[in-house]
Amino acid sequence: MAQSVHDKAVPQIDHHATGHAALGAPPTMPADMAHEMGHGGKDLPAMVRDMRNRFWICLAFTVPIFLYAPMGGMFSPPAPPFGLPLNLWLLLLASAAIPYSSWPFFVAAWRALRKGTLGMAALVVLSVGTGYLFSVGATFFFTAGGQFFEAVAVLLVFILLGHWLEMRARAGASSAITALMDLAPAKAAVIRDGVEVEVPSAEVLTGETVVIRPGNKIPVDGTVLTGESLVDESMLTGESMPVQKGPGAAVIGATINRSGSFQYKATKVGADTALAQIVKLVQEAQNSKAPAQLLADRAAQWLVIAAIVIGIVTFAVWFWWNAQPLLFAVTLTITVFVIACPDALGLATPMAVMVGTGLGAMNGILFKNASALEDATKLDVIVFDKTGTLTVGQPEVVEIVTATGVTEDVVLTAAAAVEQGSDHPLAQAIVRRAVHLTVAASTGFESLDGMGARAETVNGTVFLGNRLLMDTQKLTLGPLEAEAIRLQGDGRTVVHVSQAGTVIGLIAIADAVRPTSRAAVAKLRERGVDVVMLTGDNVVTAKRIATDLGIDSVLAEVLPGQKAEKVKELQAAGKKVGMVGDGVNDAPALTQANVGFAIGAGTDVAMESADVVLMKSDPYDIVAAIELSRATLRKMHQNLWWAVGYNTLAFPLAAGVFYPFVLSPEIAALSMSGSTLVVALNALMLKRTRLVRIRQPGTSVATPPPPDALFPAG
């Protein structure tokens, strides 16, 4: 079900900070994961550095411990300094290596215990703590038991190394956020007290005038006041062609000015910019938990309990039942605690989610939560809104029919000469279609109420309008009569064009289909997903567009309040439904659907109601989103099966079931770390996923969304 971005904890953004602070906090590990490692309140890079430092400190003291200890045994070390006994010297070295290096695990175990849970840290505490305390006791009290310092120190080195590498992998999975943050310029030129000054982008205030020159990145969102330029908005829209900007046009922060200079008024700064909102959504998605992760968390809890029970039973069996030496029994017990650490199980799904959502963000597909990422794989019906989703949402010239001996350019030139300067939607559609032609200025323009318009051109008087206008002027259509009837029957608006007393052509205008809609429908059906078109438009128009797109199921003349009911009906039939829409009237349906997809150029309400935002307003991104979801879920399942298989084999090995073949704690730590790294690296392989893309030569795959429509400021 859809979940509002406001329902989740959102990283706080400092509006007055510098650098990345304008966009949000640095990449962070989810709070529960951070607490699991005893790093509550730290950002991910700081956690990586801290774990690295603890590893190197532990290693620095572990090397002499290993060399001095009987376990080293490779050569005779020099005598301990200050005349200290060997066992006391090893105690001092171990006390320098172990308590500090293992402290985060003790903190995390205590936090988990206070919440009534047991986590991975508990097993580390039991293994390291048991070995260290046993060795301290052996130093002063039961010297016959032997010390364990070298084994504990080496064990801790492997554990720290594994967690350091794991956290580096997590940081790599968060590279999408870092890449997004890096899009924003560090500095901005603003007018203050009539003087142009350079300030950090994070300090730009709402209402200030920002100065942009060729090659500059735009620091914050705003509206152009003076000047004109071409702006590259590909970072948001995916469209490579720069967009013309002039007075009144909206500009988006982090986009690139390619040519002229202009000044604009800052309207959204700090956390309210489109880029900051994107960063926030990606962070929220990466910090959320998929249903599979909730199951893995519960399994990890039981795994810890099982490890503790099996460890105690292992000690009892080997020490009391089999009468083995205390050191042997303690060694196997510690091995059980170490090898059972559920790192791999706990990491299986979060890593896949982090990489999957990050990859989606870099491709303009924003998953608001991990549940949507997983649920998108289960969809068997996609319901598309028509207007603004499958279609452009504005009138476009879709067909030109000419009289014998007349070219399309002649018809367009005559029509554009009359309509240039008009703000009527149909007139603008004609002018846009004739943008590549040279159109001479017309004179004597006259609007003819209810019929059309006329004007004088270099080639004679041009009448432009409906059939009534032609009849009024006693102009016959001739062979074009049948074409006019055909076009009207298809639900299109027909503009009749006459020049110098002769009807020269017909211009059919309709809400044009997006260039990628047809391919998106075909690909979805190829993958076994049914497609339904839902619209409030009349049946004739709806069926025409559906036939053009290859859609068999059409729900037309549906009132806004009925769209959610139609989705319910499909769900009642046992279908998992995805809804794609852009308007306010789509919001209830987007919420009702199993997964709601909002077109990026749509309304704030639609995007608040949806689970996934398609930034490029490209219907084909539905296919890419589903493919990414399936790839991510495959990685989740692979990682979970690996984690389960590892622990199934690890327990009997560690407990000595295959005696005399037994594992040392050091080997157990190495295998545990190796298992965790396998999971992390497998998740990172998601970055190699190539999302499907199509682009037709000379066409746009996306309609650039205005900044105000990208994300709500609140």
Q: How many helices (H) and strands (E) does the chain have?
A: 24, 22
Alpha helix ranges (H) inside 527-575: 539-549, 563-572
Q: Got the DSSP string for 248-293?
A: T-EE-TT-EE-S--EEEEEEE-GGGSHHHHHHHHHHHHHHS--HHH
The closest alpha carbon to 314, from 676, 650, 670, belongs to: 650
**Residue 213, Cα to own-chain centre: how many angstroms?**
31
Concatenated DSSP letters of 427-493: HHHHHHHTTTS--PPPEEEEEETTTEEEEEETTEEEEEE-HHHHHHTT---TTHHHHHHHHHHTT-E
Q: Is 385 a catalytic residue?
A: yes
Find the length of the chain: 714
* Beta pairing partners, 196: 191
- Pseudo-torsion of CA 111, 114, 119, 124, nearest 10°? 60
| Among 564, 563, 566, 597, CA closest to 579 | 597
209 pairs with which residues across the strands? 191, 265
Q: Is 662 helix (H, G, I), strand (E, B) or coil?
A: coil
What span, in angstroms and rounded, lies between the C-alpha atoms of 372 and 22?
Answer: 28
**Tokens, residue 99:** 């308590």
Burial class (CB in 10 A: 0-12, 13-18, 19+), 510: buried
Which residue carries 């890593």 as its tokens? 351
| 3-class secondary-structure state, position 650 | helix
Q: Measured between alpha carbons, how far apart are the two ends of the chain, in Å?
A: 21
Report the 3 state secondary structure along 171-220.
Answer: HHHCHHHHHHHCCCCCEEEEEECCEEEEEEHHHCCCCCEEEECCCCECCC
CA-based nearest residue to 2, from 603, 565, 586, 569: 586
Residue 76, phi then psi, degrees to nearest 5: -85, 115
Helix axes 120-140, 326-339, angle to 10 degrees: 160
**What does the alpha-carbon distance between residue 268 and residue 184 come to, in Å, rounded to a whole number?**
14
- Rounded CA-CA distance 205/188 in Å is 11
Judged by DSSP in three states, 655 sits in helix
| Separation between Cα atoms, residue 288 and residue 263, nearest integer Å | 40
Handedness of CA 319, 325, 330, 332 (dihedral sign): negative
Q: Which residues contact 315 (CB under 8 A, 6 or more apart)?
A: 329, 330, 332, 333
Residue with tokens 């985060």: 104
Set 385, 586, 611, 621: catalytic member: 385
Which residues have CB under 8 Å from 115's CB, separation 6+?
none
The angle subtended at Cα 478 by Cα 477 and Cα 483, nearest 5°, is 75
Q: Is the dihedral of CA 403, 406, 409, 411 positive or negative?
A: negative
**Residues with a known catalytic role:** 385
